Amino acid sequence: MEYYLVVSAIMMFAGIYGFIVRRSLLGILISIELILNSVDINFMVFNRYLYPDQMEGFFFTLFAIGVSAAETAIAIAICINVYRNLHSINVKNLDEMKN
């Protein structure tokens, strides 16, 4: 069971790395998907290995997938809108509202 967790930890930190170094909005979103996915794996693993007669982890994962899908849809809508207005989805350029 620990190996599952190790895999998900690596995935998680890959996501974090991407979140920090990526320079485009979509890249950051993809990194977030990685992070969420790793959390999902953790839920499932704990459910299966530690509390097999309950179903919390299962349903949390189910809802997390739903929520992340929703979040992705909204985020992508925002991305497209930003791109339409600024012709770039690079975070560096998203400082119009600063100053």
Residues 1-20 that bind other proteins (CB under 8 A): 1-7, 9-20
> Is there binding between residue 29 and other proteins (CB under 8 A)?
yes
> Is there binding between residue 93 and other proteins (CB under 8 A)?
no
Long-range contacts, 44-50 (Cβ 8 Å, 24+): 45/1, 45/4, 45/5, 45/8, 49/1
Residues 61-80 that bind other proteins (CB under 8 A): 61-63, 65-74, 76-80
Q: Write phi, then psi, for 24 (nearest 5 degrees).
A: -115, 150
Rounded to the nearest whole angstrom, what is the least distance from the CB of residue 42 to other proteins in the complex? Answer: 10
